[in-house]
Structure 1
């Protein structure tokens, strides 16, 4: 989970600090930097996972003349991963300090705890471990081993040991503190390649630190795009606008497809589930009693709902997920289901909204107000930290429009000045 984020000299950010929780609803008037925040997190994802910093472009804050843009991203992370012959359980706090501009550097500082057990060769399921350093995590673990429960129980008897890791991505210099017994497992976890003198011989891929394929995946679904003809291979990634929705769903495991299908029951009128058919040209149908209604003929609300549920339930590879304006085409009953699904999911969820109905469904620690300070720079404050916020919301009956009208974000400017 992304806990804290500092952004300096990037688009509308200047010494801007944000704190996030498990579920984060971004509330802001127009042109306050909501889209810029999404872009900033996507930028960090590109820097850390693509690692080709020379080809990554970005925009500095036009109000100031400063060469470098700075990012400080702090993550809190718990995971279990199977790497070749070791089942590793770890929890850690990870800080990335990123400088982009005349000099591109990434510094990493990890404080964590880990424990592991060795996996016997005969317990590996055929097809999952064909080469060194292949990883399995999340729900895949149950299918990677013939008797996962045995190793889960064994791992439960082990105690965590502390470790500390510091690393500079430019120089490849590092410091590693851990127990002697855990060192090799930790080297595998971090994806470190060392020579005979324990020097790193190639840059670390940060996806190994997370055991994920991305930090952040964002979506802004458009029903009319999803309803257009889709001819593309199965994919593990749902694109930003949902244009490959059918191929994404068809590539999921049967259990997840069933979860998505079941989520429609009672939420979308007359729909009892979904069905995907076809080979080269797959089609998605909504089942209404004995009738099959193709995606392109269903309502915009039904299309938007299944896209959102597919993004939440089907994405097993990202740390965090962003969904813009989930309320579009939706009844409030359905929105309540979506919010509860967001809360229950393992991923950290961000979403934007202009709906006062959604605001009524949220806790104060799930709402983040974005605003411009007097210098025009984007700042953020969680609702729970705003003075008298409970009284304000009660007086105005959680009406987001009225809350913004009374100038609550102007008051935030005054707080910043103080």
Structure 2
């Protein structure tokens, strides 16, 4: 039995989310704050014995913030729904009986393979009855009822099983909870659809083995906390299994040891001195009636075992130290090991299913250990769910067992990257997702490029010209190292990852007249043939890619007319390329000729020269050298700016102000001016960007500022 689906409605940062899981190892991937911990908490509320009581203590902060966007009391009247779907239910009579009477749904009396277990946090019956009695459209009556609602008095937690509806369907929510917009509520509860109530004293959590390993933040302090120390928990569990006959000799030894310690002359002398000093100070009347110094060593199995401590030696060291003496990574690894052992002990008991949740195991753990850990933690008959923001762990994840979380305004979205893909397509995709490329799974937007030049120079251009890094923009740039973009681009789709992905590639349009002439020599003929073939392939590539992205709002293609290097000069960057010429050539005559060609306006001349230079040095190395000469005055080729515009169509006003300030900083002394009031007016929507820039240009008496190519780009957004 395994969890095949988790549905979350109105729970914390999930307005409406659906997670899909498979048997074996599953992974939740997401940036910080995307909701990984909230997902685990939701599962724990239903399946973890120690968290079960918390399910009855949900509060208004557990409601999704979207409900409160317009009204701080927007949560009132709404429900939180957490639903777990289980698949591959065993035919075992005991488990079939459990789900028949509690959470299963068996059509026509046959055994079933799927079951559900749901948590509703909802208004109590008397409130729901009042809502159902409202006339349709009676918003005043609705507001009157909702105004007086409080969590403590008017909400209840309700568990059900045997539901058959999709809780992520908005129409299901309207039918079950009510239509707040049109004021239509029903008090009738269709158990055949929404599930049969499960009594409080019955819980699936009692029937399964469930272990949660929290994110490893400060495990040293946890080892000093008796409630959290995993070693103490293991010892405590084992102490109950020690036979009395086996422990009696140890207990006798402890008693003898304690007695021997207490009878030491020095101990007795100190005890007598304490008693005499008290008597001297307060007299016989107020002195204690008795006073002893005794050993604290317990002769009880549980307490004696809990007095034990773990001593560890770092790899290749003979010294064994306390936990606090270990490196942070070493302590985390030991903590994780003990929790895994705790899971093994739990699993050894007879349960219907085994679940292991591990939250962000990568904290302070070396890269190789992260990968090894993920590869090696595989237990038979156990479903394991990891959460992570480590590219090293995501690299070794099975794409089919992956859920990706994306932060949105006041909520999170969930994507299944393999949804709807064939096995062959998934295989190709996984080949690309190594540790470098998996960062696209965490990005807010993605650029796919075909070569080293783009991979090296585009980040430099963005940083030097716009004053911000791609990382700050949340954009991952991925070098495909070919023009086979489809293998990765297939990720970005309505059914899979709903993030913008821009493909940047070359049209390879001819930079010269390729018409054969009788006067052409072999070298010229060969060159024309090469240019002509590239032009043809570029046109075919465009046709193919344009068809591939058709009707997909998440994908777009942006073409360099020729190649990145040629279009770099075409954008107005002959000076930067000219700076590189002495690094490529030594002969003065060739340097002079190359400068003439690079600075000409003839693409057949500067195009051939820059490609010759790039091929001679190697495109990657040439890009590195060229990157050293990129400045704030360099022009970003227009197709790259258009790609940025596609990925980030709605730049925040704060980010726009940052761009403007950075460009201003290149032409004036910022300390001599104060544009804060202008920026505030722009941020508050009192003036538009064009008016902001025009006013700034007038104040600094620099009309050309409006012609800045970055600002022109911003005004086009």
TM over 0.5, yes or no? Answer: yes
SS in 2 for 1:205: coil
8 A Cα contact 2:26 2:385, kept in partner? yes
* Pair 1:205 & 2:205 matched: no
8 A Cα contact 1:33 1:370, kept in partner? yes
For residues 107-162 of structure 1, give each alpha carbon's deviation from its aligned partner in whole angstroms, at most 9, with x where no partner exists.
21299xxxxxxxxxxxxxxxxxxxxxxxxxxxxxxxxxxxxxxxxxxxxxxxxxxx
Find the aligned partners of 2:50 and 2:223 in 1 and give their Cα distance: 33
* Pair 1:401 & 2:414 matched: no
Q: CA deviation at 1:320?
A: 2.5
Aligned twin of 1:62: 65
Aligned twin of 2:114: 93
* Pair 1:282 & 2:277 matched: no
TM-score, normalised relative to structure 2: 0.35
Aligned twin of 2:398: 363
Between structures 1 and 2, the one with greater helix share: 2
Query: With CA pairs under 8 Å and 6+ residues apart, which has the higher RCO, 1 or 2?
Result: 1
Equivalent residues, number: 293
Aligned twin of 1:347: 382
For residues 190-222 of structure 1, give each alpha carbon's deviation from its aligned partner in whole angstroms, at most 9, with x where no partner exists.
xxxxxxxxxxxxx551147x5236x56241223
8 A Cα contact 1:383 1:389, kept in partner? no
* Pair 1:75 & 2:86 matched: yes
Q: CA deviation at 1:354?
A: 2.6
| Unpaired runs of at least 5, structure 1 | 84-89, 112-165, 173-202, 233-238, 255-276
Find the aligned partners of 1:51 and 1:410 in 2 and give their Cα distance: 41
8 A Cα contact 1:393 1:403, kept in partner? no
Find the aligned partners of 2:338 and 2:93 in 1 and give their Cα distance: 24
* Pair 1:246 & 2:280 matched: no
| Unpaired runs of at least 5, structure 2 | 68-73, 96-110, 125-156, 165-193, 240-302, 348-352, 447-490, 501-551, 555-717
* Pair 1:17 & 2:14 matched: no
CA 91–329 in structure 1, closer or farther in 2 if over 3 Å, else same: farther
SS in 1 for 2:15: coil
Q: How does 1:232-381 map to 2 (within 5 A)?
A: 232=226, 243-251=228-236, 279=305, 281-286=307-312, 291-315=319-343, 316=346, 319-344=354-379, 346-372=381-407, 376-381=410-415
Aligned twin of 1:383: 417
Q: CA deviation at 1:283?
A: 0.9
Q: CA deviation at 1:8?
A: 1.0
SS in 2 for 1:340: helix
* Pair 1:8 & 2:36 matched: no
For residues 260-311 of structure 1, give each alpha carbon's deviation from its aligned partner in whole angstroms, at most 9, with x where no partner exists.
xxxxxxxxxxxxxxxxx97553210125786432222122222211222222
CA 222–250 in structure 1, closer or farther in 2 if over 3 Å, else same: farther
Q: CA deviation at 1:98?
A: 2.6
SS in 2 for 1:284: coil
CA 169–363 in structure 1, closer or farther in 2 if over 3 Å, else same: same
Q: CA deviation at 1:417?
A: 8.5
Aligned twin of 1:105: 158
Aligned CA-pair RMSD: 4.3
TM-score, normalised relative to structure 1: 0.57
